[in-house]
């Protein structure tokens, strides 16, 4: 089986939202490998002395146990436009290291910077993030996600966002949209535009 991946934001030499990464990491170990007993990633991850207070991506690769931990300087993607793309047979319930599926779908994005996947008529995720929409009063994220992201779970728990079913035809009724994931700061992440040309 392919290795799984946790991407954790390191800022000011502190791992962000580690409790949510621990939860997903251990749930995957239980469900895919039948492992009992949780591992605390704080006991496994050693932050190198040479890292500064800048933002880094901590990548944890694992199967039954952690196999690799590395740190990379974080460079946010410049994503301004998303192409709606219908993919009804997609399944990405676990965060695998192998991303060939998304790489092949990105070939269908046309002039857009990324894709926004529609499954059976409902909005799911982009190739690298969950998504939230603003209706003029509140931020809403699809409950038909592909991967239940850690930032998504955190924002829902804090009641900063809410969730609902969002059909592809509903998207045009929202005022704003932005991607969310563990590396993106919700307040400062740039908005994106949705391209409907395929529909």
pTM above 0.75, yes or no: yes
DSSP one-letter string for the chain: -PPEEEEEEEETTEETTHHHHHHHHHHHHHHHH---S---GGGT----TT--SS-EEEEEEESSSEEEEEEEE-------EEEEEE-TT----S-BS--HHHHHHGGG-TTSSEEEEEETTEEEEESS-EEEEE-SS-EEEESS-SS--HHHHHHHHTTSSEEE--BGGGGGG-SEEEEE-TTS-TTTPPP-EEE-TT-
Q: pLDDT for 29-40, tens place per residue?
A: 999 999 999 999
Domains contained in the chain, CATH given = 4-73 (3.30.470.10), 81-195 (3.20.10.10)
Confidence check: pLDDT of 195 > 90 = no
């Amino acid at each position: 089986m392919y290795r799984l991946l946790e991407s954790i934001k390191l800022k000011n030499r502190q791992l962000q939202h580690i409790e949510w990464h621990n939860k997903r990491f251990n749930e995957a170990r239980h469900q895919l490998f039948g492992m009992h007993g949780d591992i605390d990633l704080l006991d496994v991850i050693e932050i190198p002395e040479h890292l500064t207070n800048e933002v880094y991506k901590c990548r944890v690769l694992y199967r039954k146990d952690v196999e690799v931990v590395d740190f990379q300087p974080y460079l946010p993607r410049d994503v301004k436009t998303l192409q709606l793309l219908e993919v009804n047979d997609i399944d990405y319930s676990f965060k695998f290291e192998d991303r060939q599926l998304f790489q092949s779908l990105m070939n269908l994005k046309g002039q857009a910077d990324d894709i926004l996947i529609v499954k059976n008529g409902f909005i799911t995720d982009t190739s690298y993030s969950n998504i939230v929409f603003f209706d003029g009063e509140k931020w809403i994220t699809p409950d038909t996600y592909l991967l239940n992201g850690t930032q998504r779970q955190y924002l829902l728990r804090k009641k900063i966002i809410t969730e609902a079913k969002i059909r592809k035809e509903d998207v045009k009724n929202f005022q704003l949209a932005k991607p969310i994931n563990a590396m993106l700061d919700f307040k400062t992440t740039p908005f994106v535009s949705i391209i409907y040309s395929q529909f």
